[in-house]
Chains A and B, each alone.
Chain A
Amino acid sequence: MAKLVTPEMEKINKRRMKRKNGKVARSTPMMDAWRRLIRNRTAVLGMAIIIVLLLMAVFAPLIAPYMYDEMDVMNMLKGPSSVHWFGTDNLGRDMFSRCVYGARITLPIAIFTVAVAVLTGGTLGVLCAYFGGQFDMIVMRILDVWGSIPGLMLSIAIVAALGNNMYVLVIGLSVGAVPNMARTFRGAIFTVVDSDYVEASRSIGAGNFSIMFKHLLPNAVGPVILAIVGLLGVEVLCVSTLSFLGVGVQPPTPEWGSLLSTSKEFLNSASYLCTFPGIFIVLSVLGFNLLGDGLRDALDPRLK
């Protein structure tokens, strides 16, 4: 009798037989999540936007037709054309090049800010959830007070006090994000800290450190990843806001927010100057948010 193998079955079998490091590829919770993620069109769109923007930042010198501070005095405040795709500003600088180079400023600041916030806030949150009791009480009350000050105000105050450079900006922005990160990590760890497997690994002699990082964090990764991706979008917005307000990145460095800020004077005569950096800000926030939504669905199949 002929074997009945549908193309679908063949596909599944092929995937099952795929070998990786000599082991049969298996479905791990993470791999399942990945598969659900790439099936989600909006999430893939978000991911594509982020990847394009990141590539743009990395290869800015290759993509941008001009240097970001190169002035073309013959063409000042000219609208979009084949020579200057996004037009030129009041000093004759090519807007497209400035926007492309802007990705090199805005995105890294946002990413480093999130990294710092995750490291400090995350560590605090994990420690709070793991040790609980008095320590948790005291830290969380401090964070409550900390979190009740608007993040942007705190950032502006820090940048104003410590001077204006990228490192201070990163610290100032992350300070505003720490309380939220700590709460997210604490909440995520709380759901797994009482699991039997934690007690089981303690019974075989696992120390606090190894329990936290080997057992608790990997099992709480879902909500944590979500919060991190969401925070990336928020921080892009925060960097731009600070620069727009004039306390962040200073001109002539082409940060998207500061581009908006200098362009706003020509809003009536040359509205395209505001439009393009605005589009980039919107795109990057949109990208992170779409990716975040997709991740939430992918990591938590129960929500579907």
Chain B
Amino acid sequence: MALLEVNHLKKYFQVSSGILHAVDDVSFTLEEGRTLGVVGESGCGKSTLGKTIIRLTDPTSGKVVFDGQDVAGYSVKEFHKVRPNMQMIFQDPFASLDPRLTVTELIAEPMKIYKTGTKEEIYKRVKDLMDIVQLAERFANSYPHELDGGRRQRIGIARALALKPKFVVCDEPVSALDVSIQAQVLNLLQDLQEELKLTYMFITHDMSVVKHISDDIIVMYLGQIVEKSSAKELFQKQYHPYTNALLSAIPVPSLHDRREKILIEGELSSPINPPDRCRFAGRCAYCTELCRNSKAPELKEMSPGHFVACHRAKEMMVELNKNE
């Protein structure tokens, strides 16, 4: 049974000029021990999706079935009992740690809230956790502003792991870090996944990171899933023009083997009161009259496990992958 099953999840925000569709009818399942990569450009709702799943914001409608229970409709009190199983690592390690608490206090905070043991037990666990995330003991009494980004993100990881979660939402955990430190933190996350049997939902806009870490990938555009597949398959074959363009943007570390980048014209259209049409149509190089005038495309399974939401999916299968 899947650990996490998200069904038709919607999150709308009421804004002055209308209703902002941040997450619009997103469904996926995630097996235990796997990593789901969520990619898309800024403002496509990937962070909101993560935050809605772990109930930092309440969903507008839809189901989040975690470990067999639909937690989307839970009250604050009921969700409090489930929360230790669902944790989050935040994007900005500079802003997501309270500057007035020491490293020890920061890591001990979740355990104090859930009263997981006596003071001694909690502080012993803090030491263990610091060891697990490879944070030297001498930083125990430091303040976050005294540490570099990588070390701060390790504090964030330790905080997320303190309650022994099954599922962790990683919201761009490395995008604020230097490249050299990104690799360290990514490797740490992978090691932890193996040791602690964690399930990750890995949100990022960095395609090379997602290639490195994910088992499955969903590609989001303006609050909707446009393509969903296993990572291996997605990097070989793309059926959606947007995915194709995203992947062509990965830098290639070679002087001779240059690929042609596909540049998407224009800007993200507004997520406020979007019309019921293909949301990518305005920027799509393969857009036809059909795309502009018919209803929004639904996710269709084009090959086993590979879903795509495009009116011209069949033609795209041929068109986008003709070089192989």
- A and B interact: yes
Query: Which A residues contact B (CB, under 8 angstroms)?
Result: 23-24, 26, 28-29, 195-197, 199-207, 210, 214-215, 218-219
The reply to whether A26 and B142 form a contact with Cβ atoms under 8 Å apart is yes
Given A204-B113, A204-B162, are A197 and B97 neighbors across the interface (CB < 8 Å)? Answer: yes
With the chains together, A202 CA to B141 CA distance in Å? 23
How far, in whole Å, are A207 and B80 apart by their CA atoms in the complex? 9
Interface contact B141-A205, CB-CB below 8 Å: no
Produce 1/0 per residue, B138-170, CB < 8 A to A: 000111001000000000100110110000000
**The one of A23, A196, A214, A218 that contacts B92, using a Cβ cutoff of 8 Å:** A196
Q: Find out whether the CB atom of A29 lies under 8 angstroms from the CB atom of B113.
A: no
Give the residues in chain B near A215, CB-CB below 8 Å.
98, 100
Query: Does B33 count as interface, using CB distance less than 8 angstroms?
Result: no
Chain B residues contacting A202 (CB-CB under 8 Å) are 56
The 8 Å CB contact of B90, one of A196, A210, A214, A218, is A196
For A23, A199, A218, which residue has the most chain B Cβ atoms within 10 angstroms?
A199
- Evaluate whether A197 and B56 lie within 8 angstroms (CB atoms) in the complex, with A29-B100, A204-B113, A218-B100 already known: no
Question: Separation in Å of the B155 CB from the closest CB of chain A?
Answer: 10
Q: Nearest Cβ in chain A — how far from B139, in angstroms?
A: 11
Given known A-B contacts A23-B141, A26-B143, A29-B100, A203 and B95 have beta carbons under 8 A apart:
no
Q: Looking at the complex, which of B81-89, B208-216, B280-288 is the stretch in contact with chain A?
A: B81-89
Q: Which of B80, B109, B114, B163: most chain A CB closer than 10 A?
A: B109
- Residue of A24, A195, A207 touching B141 (CB-CB under 8 A): A24
Shortest Cβ distance from A199 into B: residue? B56
A191 to chain B, nearest CB (A): 13
Q: Within 8 Å CB of A195, what residues of B?
A: 95
Identify the closest chain A residue to B86 (Cβ): A203
Tell whether B278 is near chain A: CB-to-CB under 8 Å.
Answer: no
**CB proximity of B185 to chain A, nearest CB, Å:** 17
Q: In the docked arrangement, what's the CA distance between A114 and B225, Å?
A: 56
Known: A26-B142, A204-B159, A205-B84. A199 touches B113 (CB 8 A): no
Contact A205–B97 (Cβ < 8 Å): no
Q: Does B73 contact A (CB under 8 A)?
A: no
Count CB-based A-B contacts (< 8 Å).
68
Q: Is the CB of B95 within 8 A of A201?
A: no
User: Across the interface, do A197 and B143 meet the contact criterion of CB distance under 8 Å?
Assistant: no
Q: Is the CB of B97 within 8 A of A200?
A: yes
Complex interface: chain B residues within 8 A of A203 (CB) = 54, 56, 83, 87-88, 90
Residues of B within 8 A of A (CB): 51, 54, 56, 80, 83-84, 87-88, 90-92, 95-100, 109-110, 113-114, 141-143, 146, 156, 159-160, 162-163
Tell me the nearest residue of chain B to A215, going by C-beta: B98
The CA-CA distance from A214 to B98 in the complex, in Å, is 9
A197 pairs with B98, CB closer than 8 A: yes
A80–B74 CA distance with the chains assembled, in angstroms = 77
Interface of A is mostly: helix
User: Can you sample 11 A-B contacts with CB below 8 Å?
Assistant: A28-B100, A28-B143, A29-B99, A200-B88, A200-B90, A200-B97, A200-B156, A203-B88, A204-B163, A205-B84, A207-B113
In the complex the two chains form, is A204's CB within 8 Å of B100's CB?
no
Q: How far is the CA of A203 from the CA of B90 in the complex (A)?
A: 10
Contact status A205-B56, CB under 8 Å: no
Q: Provide the bound-state CA to CA distance between A151 and B36, in Å.
A: 60
Whether A200 and B100, one on each chain, are in contact in the complex, defined by CB atoms closer than 8 angstroms, is no
Task: Kindly state the separation between the CA atoms of A206 and B162 in the bound complex, as whole angstroms.
Answer: 14
CA of A28 to CA of B142 in the docked complex: distance in angstroms?
9
Minimum CB distance partner of B111 in chain A? A204
Task: Output the least CB separation between B258 and chain A (Å).
Answer: 39
Q: Whole-angstrom distance between the alpha carbons of A205 and B142 in the complex?
A: 24
**Roughly how many angstroms separate A204 CA and B96 CA in the complex, as a whole number?**
12
User: Is B96 a contact of A196 with CB atoms below 8 Å?
Assistant: yes
State in angstroms the CA–CA spacing of A197 and B110 once bound together: 13
Whether A204 pairs with B92 at a CB distance below 8 angstroms is no
**Complex formed: what's the CA distance from A23 to B104 in Å?**
13
- Closest Cβ neighbor of B80 among chain A residues: A205
Chain A residues contacting B100 (CB-CB under 8 Å) are 28-29, 215, 218-219
Please indicate the chain B residues that have their CB under 8 angstroms from the CB of A199 in the complex.
51, 56, 90, 96
**Nearest chain A CB to B84 CB, angstrom units:** 7
A8 to chain B minimum Cβ distance, whole angstroms, is 22
**Alpha-carbon gap, A229 to B96, bound state (A):** 31
Point out the residues of chain A lying under 8 angstroms from B110, CB to CB.
204-205
Measured CB to CB, the nearest residue on chain A to B79 is A205
Q: How far is the CA of A242 from the CA of B292 in the complex (A)?
A: 75
Min C-beta distance of A207 to chain B, whole Å: 8
Cα–Cα, bound, A157→B163 (Å): 56
Residue among B51, B109, B163 making CB contact with A206, cutoff 8 Å:
B109
> Closest Cβ of chain B: how far from A192's Cβ, in Å?
10
Q: Considering the chains assembled together, what is the distance between the CA atoms of A203 and B88 in angstroms?
A: 7
User: Which B residues touch A204, using CB under 8 A?
Assistant: 83, 87, 109-110, 113, 159-160, 162-163
Q: Which residue of A24, A205, A219 contacts B113 across the interface (Cβ within 8 Å)?
A: A205
Q: How far apart sit A105 and B60, CA to CA, in the bound complex (Å)?
A: 58
Q: Within the complex, what minimum Cβ distance (angstroms) separates A123 from chain B?
A: 21
B163 / chain A contacts, CB cutoff of 8 Å: 204-205
B144 nearest CB neighbor, chain A only: A197
Q: Is the CB of A210 within 8 A of B113?
A: yes
**A219 close to B95 (CB less than 8 A):** no
